[in-house]
Amino acid sequence: MKLPSAQLTGKLLIDTSMGSFLGDKRIRLLEAIDRSGSISQAAKAVPLSYKAAWDAVDDMNNVAPEPLVLRSAGGKHGGGTELTAFARRLIAFYRALEKESQLALEKLTSNLQQSGVCDVDDFRQVLRRMSMKTSARNQFAGPVTGIKEGVVDTEVTVQLGPTLALTAIVTRESAETMALCPGRDVLAFVKASSILLMVGEDGRISARNRFSGTVTRIQQGPVNAEVTLSMANGRHVMTAVITDDSVKRLGLVEGLPATAVFKASSVFLAAMD
């Protein structure tokens, strides 16, 4: 019996100057949000956990050039979630590109089988090993707007929005390797465990990055809690992991104003080619 030929199939991941942030699962989440107007119903449809769905929405809004999802809380009908016109155009673009991508993969499969240079399964393995993911919870994108070179380190300013910027410290060698310069698009990563939270005026602090916002979610565990702040611009969010005791001591609740603080040395940069 002749075994069926191996075929290459793939899930398209859009990699733009603003970063790799949109794939099949997130597109399906956006489509489900558009149908239901509810993040919880959309999460069940994908399927994703409710928290994973919110995290995906936050990540997309953080790195997209325009907001993709708008959220409203309270009101007569308990609020809701809806897509922006930009998100709908992006979905249409993704689906059209997906069709073209699959046609290209089918052609590649045929070429590999005819040439005998590389087995399709071997090719799949190479692609898997070349894929990269990061564990950093907070991911942002924007252009470099300022550089201060030192003997050893370089201070880099990244503009996340009209009134929102962060500062990173990288080695001079790293800055040169990434060819950092004003106008170059970069991705900025900050681990949730590197972010401190402040409520009210707790005095002066040496950390360069201070972002004021409002607590929108608190996910408590046995020891630590994940606290998400929405920035004043309504699009960017920052997530911190702090102890449950700290949540109680600070009196953190949803709707409370708070400030996310982290050192410039806690920011990791990646330049987009």
* pTM flag (> 0.75): no
Residue 268 domain flag: no
Residue 271 domain flag: no
Residue 273 domain flag: no
H/E run at residue 258: strand 257-262
Asked if 62 and 157 sit in the same domain, the reply is no
pLDDT, position 260: 94
pLDDT, position 65: 80
Asked if 180 and 214 sit in the same domain, the reply is no
Token couple for 113? 């089988």
> Mapping DSSP to helix (H, G, I), strand (E, B) and coil, where does residue 218 land?
strand
Which has the closest alpha carbon to 267: 177, 188, 152? Answer: 188
Q: Which of 125, 157, 186 is the last residue in one of the domains? A: 186
Q: Are 224 and 242 in contact (CB under 8 A)?
A: yes
Residue 244: give its domain's CATH number.
Answer: 2.40.50.100
Asked if 37 and 114 sit in the same domain, the reply is yes
Strands 153-161, 164-171: pairing kind? antiparallel
Asked if 61 and 179 sit in the same domain, the reply is no
> Which residue reads 């300013």 in tokens?
157
Asked if 25 and 126 sit in the same domain, the reply is yes
Which has the closest alpha carbon to 149: 130, 135, 169, 177? Answer: 169
Asked if 44 and 78 sit in the same domain, the reply is yes
pLDDT, position 167: 96
CA 27 to CA 42: how far, in whole Å?
A: 11
Asked if 129 and 162 sit in the same domain, the reply is no
Residue 48 domain flag: yes
* pLDDT digit string (tens) for the chain, length 273 residues: 333 445 555 555 555 544 456 788 899 999 999 999 999 999 999 998 988 898 889 888 888 888 899 876 654 444 578 999 999 998 988 887 777 767 766 666 666 666 665 555 655 554 444 444 556 778 888 899 999 998 889 999 999 988 899 999 999 888 888 889 999 988 888 999 999 999 987 667 778 899 999 999 999 888 899 999 998 877 889 999 999 999 999 999 999 999 999 999 999 988 765
Asked if 105 and 3 sit in the same domain, the reply is yes
Residue 272 domain flag: no
pLDDT, position 78: 47
Asked if 178 and 64 sit in the same domain, the reply is no
Q: Which of 110, 133, 156 is the last residue in one of the domains? A: 133
Residue 244 domain flag: yes
Number of domains in the chain: 3
Q: Residue 211: which domain range?
A: 191-263
Residue 243 domain flag: yes
Residue 255 domain flag: yes
Q: Are 211 and 260 in contact (CB under 8 A)?
A: yes
Residue 33: give its domain's CATH number.
Answer: 1.10.10.10
CA 34 to CA 256: how far, in whole Å?
A: 29
Asked if 99 and 66 sit in the same domain, the reply is yes
Asked if 127 and 149 sit in the same domain, the reply is no
Asked if 48 and 157 sit in the same domain, the reply is no
